Structure 1
Amino acid sequence: MKTKDTIVSLASPSGVSAVSVVRCSGTDVQTIIKKFFKKDLEDRIATYIDFIDKKNVIDDVVAIFYKGPRSFTGEDMLEILCHGGPIIYQTIISSIASIEEAREAEPGEFSERAFINGKIDLPQAEAICSIINAETIEAANAARKALSGGFSEEVISIDKKVLNIRVEIEALLDFPEEEIEHAGLEELEKLIKTTITSLDKLIEKTIARSVLSDGVRVAILGRPNAGKSSLFNLLLGNDASIVNKQQGTTRDVVFASLSLDGIPIFLYDTAGIRKTTDPIEIEGCRRSYVTAENADLIIYLFDGEEDETLEDKEIVEKIKNMGKPILLVTNKIDLREKNERQNRIEISAKENIGINLLKKKISEEIALTSRNSSVSVIKNRQLALLKEARDNILALNISLKELDLAAEQLKRTQQCLVKILGEEEDDRVLSGIFSNFCIGK
């Protein structure tokens, strides 16, 4: 990334609005102010002024200058609040980008400069992206806590504990084996247990935050005409899927999102699974299984009008072999005599019976499942590094003969922790993180 360039971009959503925000950052911000405004701008003072290019007034704007390093990026910054017509903000951006050494910003480049200039650490930068993309207020609040530095402080605290263990080991290595007291090894083991506990707690928090941020994929599977589309629509509160008594009406996977207890749920209605010679239905069944493989939780829906079939058992067994958590649900209980089965949730999608219980069970299963590594949506950078750090400590063998190996393993643990903060992270990884940001942030 070229950090010497001055960058400019729209910092508000594109399209027509009452007000749009154009953001600039870099060494040439003062040059931009002199070129397009008739007077200098005071630091951190909102100024109502004309934006002028080639003697033409483009717009009357409110301009705010932030003198570096007291700015978001740590550089000189300028924010221009203009009228929200695309032709206005596009002209302002084009005018500024036409200056030598100025150009339009790449996605996430303002945040990347803030990171490079020490204004934020990497977890805080990632939290900014999470706040922007949050789909629920709970997800936004979780990201806000990370942005405030709480997560980074916990990582630093654990890093200090690991450093203390390394110091103790290095001290023991300086003495001959016969002079090392057993009590010294016992104290080390206590320190290690405390550190593992701290890591476990932080991993659990990170998983919970990741689930809130990234959401959970839930797929509804079952044989044709079990009522999958009816349940899908009922959970969503609208008719997103076609409901028809004819078997095999849903031929493709239908997707929609909802919020359940503050967690974004990505819900999938799949084609009915059955043995068939119809090429279209065969493809629909294949897609249903692919959706199941990519899901974090499966709802398998039985048709309550019929007894459980051999085909039901085969499908459920295949899902279980995927290693996926599964909720077994019997639909259409309004059409038969009550006959509760063990480990089954009884509902009627048509009569809205048992739906609140199903939602509760979904929430409980998500909470249970998110504590282990099988949930695909939580395999993020921070979590992977925390788990690697924990695995390194768990593998320690605190014995007289292997203290030197333990010291090296603790060094690798610390490398994982500092990577979380971005201090030793690979440039390609950093570029990948910031490229996921929106332009202007």
Structure 2
Amino acid sequence: MTLKDRWRAIAGLVEGPGGIGVLICLYIVTVGFSLRAVTTFSSHYFSAAAFHIFYEPARLPVAVAVVAAFAFVGMIFLVARFSFGYLVGFYFYSMILGYLWLNCFSDFHYDHRLAGWSAAFSAAAFLVPATLIVSPVGRAYELPASVFDHLLTLILLLSLATIIAGAIFNFRIVAIEDIYRYRDKLDFPAGLRYAIGIITTTMLPFAFACFVARKNIWRAGAALVLSLLFYPVTLTKFAIFTPVWLVFVAFLARYFGSRTAVILSLLLPMLAGLLTSIFEVLPTLFYTVNFRMMIIPSNAFDIYNDYFSRHELTHFCQIGFLKPFVSCAYSEPLTIVMNRAYELGYLNASLFATEGVASVGPMLAPIAAFASGLVFAFGNRLSADLPPSFVLISSAILPQVFLNVPLSTTLLTHGAGVLFLLLYVTPRAMFERSSAP
């Protein structure tokens, strides 16, 4: 047996229910220690207390019991096959896991027991359709291979044109720590803002996944360079994060099964960040991965629960096209409302907080979560007969967006709906050719 065959055998064992279960348990432990470490680590580099993140040893047994009970919801990842909903669902599962821990130590004054039960049931209600409805939908149309080739070239050219158009309004090469001095002054036209969001989140990752599938390394590299060139235009860390994350996910997809790669995509960075906090080296890694990427979305859920326990619900009026049809107590976007109330920046949040708690309250939030899960189930069906590794790479950036942005905004502004369409019309024969000797 060759080394390659041995690796495939090991990867196959890890991809089974037993291996997935062990990885999920290890991940839950890593999340718990990260949430514990953030209060100690923050005293040196940032203030967790400012985000209302606390820790009390007396409440630890309760927090451990709650997290352990919620761990059983994760059993769905042992039996579900990989899909777009599986990918995003695991990230949401991690976010709710973090919230349930924070909920046990929160200093906010709202019904924490009701909110905790609502979060747990919302997660389960979302995951059932989002991970288990995976049958392929009948396809009425598929792009011819030659047209699809031109589409990929068009994506690269459109990305370059968007960068040039954006550079007319802003182009600054500044250090990451200085971007906030200039970013609030950016004012792109609405059409250009939509183009930047859709291209960076959806279209370039999709093109990169296609080039990887075709083993077209040079064009894949071009997609990564174009992603990076959005940094001096938008002055967002996301532009630097995107090419690094795409390469990381492509590496995992190359050497592991897709379900294993999903879990490792969070476990490995968070484990590395946790180790840096223990040994007090490279503080940026813990802050970026453990705190900013994973704990902040859980914290935002806590903050939204607090705010809407004392203020009127939105009844979905934060969704632009619904606002004229429903009464609304808010004339400004929720990000501005939250910044004014808590002074923590323009705090956005996931569908569990916005389409759930903010719109209908904790009692009805599981129903909203179930309806959102059906949207992801639709995405599963559109991409069900594509190679799992291709779906994983092309969708790699969206989970990060879904953790911090409402579902309606991500579908439109960040192009999740566009990705569903692209996956639907992708010629399946392309992968038959790429796998041929």
Q: TM-score range by the shorter chain?
A: under 0.3
Higher strand share goes to which structure? 1
Higher helix share goes to which structure? 2
Please report the TM-score for the alignment, with normalisation by the length of structure 1.
Answer: 0.21
Greater relative CO, 1 or 2 (CA 8 Å, sep 6+) = 2
Determine which structure has more spread, i.e. the larger CA radius of gyration: 1
